[in-house]
Amino acid sequence: MKLNEDQIKEKLVSFDGWAFENSKWIVKKYRFREFMQGIQFVNTVARIAEEQDHHPMISIDFKLVTLKLTSWHASGLTELDFTAAASYDQAHRDSM
């Protein structure tokens, strides 16, 4: 079920570095020391995305990896996007 703007802002309080964009995305940039560390993180994100059957948009600009989440079926953000975001952050902490 699509979350409204108040719900989204309330959720974002407990997230670090995720920004709400264009009324339907949450976006985060992860910076790595080495290009291949970013690639390794992308592989972890891809595995999680397959497990959750929910796929972020991913961009890799050298050592900077950007993840963008939305729920197409809801034309906005749902609980699933925040579950995914939490999983990526956890994976990122685990890799440090």
- Residues of this chain that bind a second copy (CB under 8 A): 35-36, 39, 42-43, 46, 49-50, 55, 57-62
Residue 7 beta carbon to a second copy: minimum distance, rounded to whole angstroms:
26
- What are the helix and strand counts (H, E) for the chain? 3, 4
Whichever of 17 and 35 has its CB closer to a second copy, that residue is 35
Minimum CB separation from a second copy for residue 77, in Å?
17
Q: How far is the CB of 14 from a second copy (least distance, A)?
A: 27
